[in-house]
Chains A and B, each alone.
Chain A
Amino acid sequence: MLDRSKIVGSPVSRIDGPLKVTGAAKYAAEHFEPGMLFGHVALATIAAGRILAIDTRAAERLQGVVKIYTHENRPKAAYRDSKWKDAVALPGHPFRPLENDRVLFDGQPVAFVVAETPEAARDAAGLIHVHYAAETPNTHIVAEQHNSYEPPVARMKQFLPPPPRGDAEAAFAAAPHKVSADYVLPGEHHNPMELFAATVRFEDEGRLTIQDKTQGSQNSRDYVCGVFGLDPDKVIVKNDFVGGAFGQALRPKHHLFLAVMASLDLSRSMKVEMTRREMFYLSWRPSCVQTVSLAADDEGYLQAVLHHAVHTTSRHEDYQENVANWSGLAYKCDNVKISYELVKLDLATPGDMRAPGAASGVAALETAMDELACEVGIDPLELRVRNFVHRDQNQDKAITSKALHACYREGAERFGWVARSPTPRSMRDGNDLVGWGMAGGIWEAMMSKGEAKVRLSADGHVTVSAAASDIGTGTYTILGQLAAEVFDCPIDAVTVDIGRSNLPKTGVEGGSWTAATTGSAVQAAAKAVVKTLLGHAQSMENSPLAEASEEQVEISEGRLVLEANHQVGTAIADIMAAAGLDAVEEQAKVGPDILSMRRYAAYSHSAVFVEVKIDEELGVVRVTRVVSAVAAGRILNAKTARSQILGGVVMGIGMALHEEGLIDHRTGRIMNHNLAEYHVPAHADIHDIDVIFVEEQDQRASPIGVKGLGEIGIVGVAAAVSNAIFHATGKRIRNLPITIDKILESEAVQ
């Protein structure tokens, strides 16, 4: 017997797991078409300037080369910028591959080889000689900071700083305790395991079926149709499986454009897969410089918050993310001033990377909070507790729910925080210095518009469909669970059909809104199926459910029954037989509740506790223990939810200790464009990570009570590690990553 109340929430293993571990799950680059051609991109080796000439003669002579495209012979594509703007596009001019002779960033595609084999294409790309008129690039955010500007066109209204409240400067000047410092974050690169790839099947009558690595099949379809003027009914984009993306695959990338371009031009099927190196010249987390000033009274109550953030964007687009606004809403404070600016550099357009904005801004805020706790002389956790606020002061709105106190309490208890000795350098384990640090995390709980279709067959089989994407997060599984809950069936009886553009409309998978959106749509469609079934049941003669309303019935063990008395009811198979149907299918559409959104803001919260051990002689930091306590509404699947937080914590440790895109500022080129040199934590760097989901009921954030989990796990982690390092060593390092040289070179405070 199945306990219905336990289908949702329980640690169900991924339903796509067996396909993945047996290799049966195919990713975008793993599809083959008869007679297909392969493409390879030649990349610019300067960061700014013009192409004077491209010599493709040697490459063309290579056996198997079919055609080489450059800006001089690229087939026509849309003229207007609006056609190039995808659903996640930015203010400015979208990048158009092979458009003209201008080079805007290192690694920009300058030529595209199409050949009979991937090897020939790659080999030929290496034989292309490009002559440039190089200009001196500017790629250093700190050096170019004086050229910062407020974005003239906002990407989203909520990314703009809130109006100042109170008089932050005066309050800061008058307060007895204050800290003010600059925090510098390097650029980071997403590096999902799966490389960007597109396989285009060229079909009759100009139809295309495209396997694309994307976080939104419909976004890719609409982009391709916009750029090439294709009929959306003739183009299908699939992304059945996505090997990680972290935001990098929100916007269509040049591989998709070039694959479709060549396919249409040559009337052949095409495949393009990027190299790992190429992945470093695409959307990235922008380098960012921030100044945070906090002031408090003698008890630690915040008197003033000032946060100024500047981050990189490209020459052609104004990438924007919400870096600093968190400082105006995380804690109670009546004197707040937030400002936000961009700097144009000769680099590729940055993009959303896991908890875009929050990962950077909260890292600075939560380090500053730790500094303030030291300054006031109270425990850093206590400082946060005292400044708790149950209102979004930025927007002057109520909060749907905020179980952050529970995160503080349960996290601290699990970690053993009470045993912390407040003085830096006062805890040791043998030769190692021990440090305990903590930080808070916050992320917006969003829901977007979305649709889903649910079909129940007479034999009890359920099919759920939507154009949603599972980027490794567990979407397949939670959608299956939500349907199984309504139909009281085992999850094996549910087929989840997602990852295809010709399914019910869904936005891109990002911002942690998929569970809330598509999950709610699935539940709504499943309930609509139950309602339709009830209608059919009531048309049967002597129906025991004749008087029942939709709210009074449910499905139990294959029957539609009265919720109050399961004896009363009719078998689904009988209802369908009587109605002459073999299945009932309904589609539902959901979206954020506009009325509620006017009054309420919704956020997920977390408290992260970190232990580091530092070999003082060598400066090596090990993160030996992490407890992440998360309040994110209802948890649909304890296992996949935990995995999301684990992944976020690991990425946060990477941010704190390892990750950094290194640029040679003389040439504007990225130096460590591979996984051997761009370090993320290795397995052996990761020790105990404990995840707690605190109880939090929230019916306003989304109809199914979830707030999303993709981002919250990383937010605050870098600050917690940095604060732990301070506690261990007495050294405050404000530019990430905290590498050994920085620890050894900086002075301990007294």
Chain B
Amino acid sequence: MRYIRPSSLEDAVGLLANASGKAAILAGGSDLLVRMKGGFIEPDVIIDIKAIDALGRIIENDDGFVIGAAVPCAVLGENTALRNAWPGVVEGARLIGSKQVQGRCTIVGNLCNASPAADSVPALVAAGARALVRGPAGSRTIAVETIPVGPGKTSLAPGEIIEAILLDKRQRHSGDAYQRFTPRTEMDIAVVSAAVNLTLNDQGVVEKARVALGAAAPTVLLVEEAADILVGSRVDDGALERLAEACSAACRPIDDKRGTVEFRKKVAGVLAKRVALTAYQRAGQK
């Protein structure tokens, strides 16, 4: 096994393209190393992207935020502008593992590990985040929800690297929120999770909404029926009840030690209500 630490993205893409045998990108390593230790994967080449300066920055520009692929989740939480603009996204990232894990792990790693329970993904999907992908054939920008295609599987082509996550500039009267349900308060895997992102008009009526559920299906679900219920409402009790029903109905979860199908469906509804209310309050304050 070879371990390489390139200092530019071009080198990383080149190395990946020319690698003989199985190559793996290493960001924080908090999934990759665990999977290697468990014997699930045995890469021949490991390309560590943490020494690439350009990937270690969060940039705020006229279009919004560009979050480099190697930025640890702890750094997201320390970025005041990002926290104010996208509190739900930051909330998700800051729920991953513990302080120690957050010091290493990245949202891109969370996304590419493609776990249905990944904590930062529902909020990214609800936020309409996009990924800037660099590969042998050049660059492209795609919606984050198109990247995971099943547990542990992504749509990235061989040789492709995610360079950054792009978040839009925040509009007035908009807000997002994320919550997960775990039996233990930390260091646990989400049984179900929910993220909501809302934009209101000047009258406080929801104009645009995106609702995403985690751990409710093989990939994070973008529940359009649920978003439609919120649009045109003031997130009143009636809308919340219908939102909960739509979210429960949209779930296609599994039965396991952490929760039954029935329980997961119920929790999806409960969390969606709570998260929608928080997002609504946040949106109203801006």
Interfacial residues, chain A to chain B (CB-CB below 8 A): 126, 617-618, 620, 622, 658, 662, 672, 677, 679, 681-685, 739-741, 744
Q: Name the residue on A nearest B187 (C-beta).
A: A682
Measured in the bound complex, the distance between the Cα atoms of B185 and A681 in whole Å is 8
Give the docked Cα–Cα distance between A739 and B258 (Å).
Answer: 10
Closest residue on chain A to residue B270 by CB atoms:
A617
Known: A662-B257, A741-B260. A682 touches B184 (CB 8 A): yes
Q: Which residues of chain A are near B257, meaning CB under 8 Å? A: 662, 672, 677
Q: Which among B39, B188, B263 is the interface contact of A741 at CB below 8 angstroms?
A: B263
Point out the residues of chain B lying under 8 angstroms from A662, CB to CB.
257
Q: Are B184 and A740 in contact (CB under 8 A)?
A: no
Interface positions, chain B 235-286, Cβ under 8 Å from A, are: 257, 259-260, 263, 267, 270
CA distance A683 to B186 in the complex (A): 8
CB-CB under 8 A from A741, the residues of chain B are 259-260, 263
Q: Which residues of B contact A658 (CB under 8 A)?
A: 183-184
Contacts A679-B188, A685-B186 known; 12 new A-B pairs at CB < 8 A: A617-B270, A618-B181, A658-B183, A682-B185, A682-B186, A684-B184, A684-B186, A739-B183, A740-B183, A740-B259, A740-B263, A744-B263
Nearest residue, chain B, Cβ from A675 = B187
Tell me which of A618, A658, A744 has the highest count of chain B C-beta atoms within 10 A of its own C-beta: A618
- Are A618 and B270 in touch, CB under 8 angstroms? yes
Inter-chain CB contacts under 8 Å: number = 38
For B267, the chain A residues whose CB sits under 8 A away are 618
With the chains together, A733 CA to B245 CA distance in Å?
A: 30
Selected from B181, B183, B259, the residue in CB contact (under 8 A) with A679 is: B183
Residues of B near A622 (CB, < 8 A) are 185
CA distance A126 to B39 in the complex (A): 11
Question: In the complex, which residues of chain A have a beta carbon less than 8 angstroms from the beta carbon of B98?
Answer: 682
Please measure, in the bound complex, the distance between the C-alpha atom of A677 and the C-alpha atom of B183, giving whole angstroms: 12
B residues 15-72 with Cβ under 8 Å of A? 39
B183 adjacent to A620 (CB under 8 Å)? yes
Residue of A nearest to B183 (CB): A740
Q: Which of A126, A662, A741, A744 has the most chain B CB within a 10 Å cutoff?
A: A741
Instruction: Give min CB distance, A338 to chain B, whole Å.
Output: 35
Closest CB in chain A relative to B285 CB, distance in Å: 21
The answer to whether A682 touches B188, judged by C-beta atoms less than 8 angstroms apart, is yes
Nearest chain B CB to A669 CB, angstrom units: 15
Return chain B residues, CB-CB under 8 Å to A620. Answer: 181, 183
The 4 A-B pairs with the shortest beta carbon distances in the complex, nearest first, are: A684-B185, A684-B186, A682-B187, A682-B186
Could you tell me if B184 and A681 are in contact, using CB atoms closer than 8 angstroms?
yes
Inter-chain CA distance A580–B187, complex, in Å, is 63
**Complex CA–CA separation, A672 to B260 (angstroms):** 18
Q: B184–A685 contact, CB under 8 A?
A: yes
For A681, the chain B residues whose CB sits under 8 A away are: 184
State the Cβ distance, B183 to closest chain A Cβ, in Å: 6
In the bound complex, residues from chain A placing their C-beta under 8 Å from that of B185 are 622, 682, 684-685
- Determine how close the nearest CB of chain B comes to the CB of A663; give it in whole angstroms: 12
A622 to B183, CA, bound (A): 10
A681 and B270 CA atoms in complex are apart in Å by: 24
Chain A residues positioned under 8 Å from B263 (CB to CB) = 740-741, 744
**Chain B, range 161-206, C-beta contacts under 8 Å to A:** 181, 183-188
Q: How distant is A662 from chain B, measured CB to nearest CB, in Å?
A: 7
Chain B residues, CB < 8 A from A617? 270
Q: How far is the CA of A741 from the CA of B263 in the complex (A)?
A: 8
| A622→B186 CA distance, assembly (Å) | 12
- Shortest B283–chain A CB gap in Å is 22
Chain A residues, CB < 8 A from B183: 620, 658, 679, 739-740
Chain B neighbourhood of A682, CB < 8 A: 98, 184-188
In chain B, positions 143-175 with a C-beta closer than 8 Å to chain A are: none
The residues of A that contact B184 with a CB separation of less than 8 Å are 658, 679, 681-682, 684-685
Among residues of B, the one whose C-beta sits closest to the C-beta of A617 is B270
Point out the residues of chain A lying under 8 angstroms from B260, CB to CB: 741
Q: Across the interface, which residues of A come within 8 angstroms of B181, CB to CB?
A: 618, 620
How far apart are the CA atoms of A618 and B188 in the complex, in Å? 16
Report the separation of the CA atoms of residues A124 and B260 in the bound assembly, to the nearest whole angstrom.
39
For the complex formed, measure the closest distance between the CB of A661 and the CB atoms of chain B, giving whole angstroms. 13
Chain B contacts for A677, CB-based, 8 A: 257
Residues of B within 8 A of A740 (CB): 183, 259, 263
Q: List 9 A-B contacts (CB under 8 A).
A: A617-B270, A622-B185, A658-B184, A672-B257, A679-B184, A682-B185, A683-B186, A684-B186, A740-B183
CB proximity of B231 to chain A, nearest CB, Å? 25
| Residues of chain A lying within 8 A (CB to CB) of residue B259 | 740-741
Q: Give the Cβ gap from A604 to chain B, nearest Cβ, in Å.
A: 31
Considering the complex, give the chain A residue whose CB is closest to the CB of B39.
Answer: A126
CA distance A577 to B141 in the complex (A): 87
What is the CA–CA distance of A685 and B259 in the complex, to the nearest angstrom? 19
Task: A665 to B53: give the CA distance in the assembly, Å.
Answer: 52
- With a cutoff of 8 Å between Cβ atoms, the chain A residues found around residue B270 in the complex are 617-618
Q: Which residues of B contact A679 (CB under 8 A)?
A: 183-184, 188
| In the complex, per-residue mask of B195-226: 1 if CB is within 8 Å of any chain A CB, else 0 | 00000000000000000000000000000000
Residues of A within 8 A of B39 (CB): 126
Distance (Å) between the CB of B202 and the closest chain A CB? 31
**How far is the CB of A613 from the nearest CB of chain B, in Å?**
12
Cα-based distance from A679 to B259 in the complex (angstroms): 15
- Complex Cα distance, B260 from A681, in Å, reads 22
CA–CA, A189 to B16, complex, Å?
Answer: 44
Query: Residues 5-20 of chain B: 1 if any A CB is under 8 Å from the residue's CB, otherwise 0?
Result: 0000000000000000
Distance A682 CA – B270 CA, assembled complex (angstroms): 24
Q: How far is the CB of A508 from chain B (nearest CB, A)?
A: 33
Q: How far is the CB of B276 from chain A (nearest CB, A)?
A: 15
Expressed in whole angstroms, the minimum distance between the Cβ of B160 and any Cβ of chain A is: 30
A620–B181 CA distance with the chains assembled, in angstroms: 9
Chain A residue nearest to B185 in the complex (CB): A684
Please, how many angstroms separate the alpha-carbon atoms of A684 and B184 in the complex?
8
In the bound assembly, the distance between CA atoms of A662 and B256 in angstroms comes to: 13
Nearest-neighbour CB distance to chain A for B37, whole angstroms, equals 11
CA distance A683 to B263 in the complex (A): 26
Return the chain B residue nearest A685 by Cβ.
B185
What's the minimum C-beta distance from B63 to chain A, rounded to whole angstroms? 36
B95, chain A: closest CB distance, angstroms: 11
Please report which residues of chain B, range 82-104, place their CB below 8 angstroms from some CB of chain A when the two chains form the complex.
Answer: 98
Q: How far is the CB of B278 from chain A (nearest CB, A)?
A: 14
User: Whole-angstrom distance from the CB of B38 to the nearest CB of chain A?
Assistant: 10
Residues of B within 8 A of A684 (CB): 184-186
Interchain CA distance A741-B258 in the complex, whole Å: 9
Instruction: Find the A residue at minimum CB distance from B271.
Output: A618
Q: A126 to B185, alpha carbons, bound, how many Å?
A: 35
Q: Provide the bound-state CA to CA distance between A741 and B260, in Å.
A: 9
CA distance A740 to B257 in the complex (A): 11
Q: How far is the CB of B190 from chain A (nearest CB, A)?
A: 13
B274 (CB) vs chain A CBs: closest residue: A617
CA gap between A672 and B256 in the complex, in Å: 13
Shortest distance from the beta carbon of B120 to any chain A beta carbon, whole Å: 19
Nearest B residue to A622, CB-CB = B185
A679 to B184, CA, bound (A): 8
CB distance from A173 to the nearest CB of B (A): 41
Instruction: Tell me which residues across on chain B come within 8 A of A126, comparing CB atoms.
Output: 39
- Give A658 to B187 CA distance when docked, in angstroms: 13
| A662 to chain B: closest residue by CB | B257
| B107 CB to nearest A CB, Å | 21
Chain A residue with Cβ nearest B38:
A674
Q: Specify the chain B residue showing the minimal Cβ separation from A620.
A: B183
**Bound complex: CA A593 to CA B39 (Å):** 57
Interfacial chain B residues near A739, Cβ < 8 Å: 183
Rounded to whole Å, the gap between the CB of A666 and the closest CB of chain B is 16
Q: Which residues of the partner chain B approach A672 to less than 8 Å between Cβ atoms?
A: 257
Nearest-CB distance from B270 to chain A (Å)? 5
| Min C-beta distance of A195 to chain B, whole Å | 15
CB distance from A230 to the nearest CB of B (A): 37
Expressed in whole angstroms, the minimum distance between the Cβ of B64 and any Cβ of chain A is: 32
**Alpha-carbon distance between A658 and B181 when the two chains are bound, in angstroms:** 16
**Complex Cα gap A682–B101 (Å):** 14
A463, B259: Cα distance in complex, Å = 57
